A = this chain, B = another copy of it.
Amino acid sequence: MGATKTDHFTAKQNAIATLIKSLGHPARVAIIEYLLKVDTCICGDIVNELPLAQPTVSQHLKELKNAGLIKGNIDGNAICYCIDEKAIEKLQSYFAGISSKLAKQKNNCC
């Protein structure tokens, strides 16, 4: 096996898991944090920032893009990347929701 049984879960569960998973790698966390740090879009500078080969970085960028976490606009020779706020908001509100539900729990054990 090895293939996730997505058909056994709800669409929402699969969607949030896919979004979360896209950030479940230090290189992709580093990419997001770098985009955040420079405080603007970045056109052609990400590869030099990461300790990985260019095809590997390109692959990670593709995954973040597919998941909707970043947007990429072609800017002449380079590609201009930035974070997609909507995806971050989704993640934030998802965990905020869990957190607030947890706060209301009775905590009978544990």
Q: Please give the distance in Å from A51's CB to the nearest CB on chain B.
A: 4
Question: Which of B4, B105, B108 is A26 in contact with, Cβ under 8 Å?
Answer: B4
Interface string of A95-110 (1 = CB under 8 A from B): 1101101101111111
Tell me how many residues of A have a C-beta within 8 Å of chain B.
Answer: 56
Give the residue name and chain of the B residue nearest to A22 (CB). B24
State how many copies of this chain the complex holds.
2
A10 to B29, CA, bound (A): 10
Q: In the bound complex, do residue A98 and residue B36 qualify as a contact, i.e. CB atoms below 8 Å apart?
A: yes
Q: In the bound complex, do residue A98 and residue B109 qualify as a contact, i.e. CB atoms below 8 Å apart?
A: no
CB within 8 Å of B: which A67-92 residues: 71, 73, 75, 80-83, 85, 88-89, 91-92
Chain B CB within 10 Å, residue with most, of A85, A101, A105? A105
Write out the residue numbers on chain B whose beta carbons fall within 8 Å of the beta carbon of A10.
Answer: 30
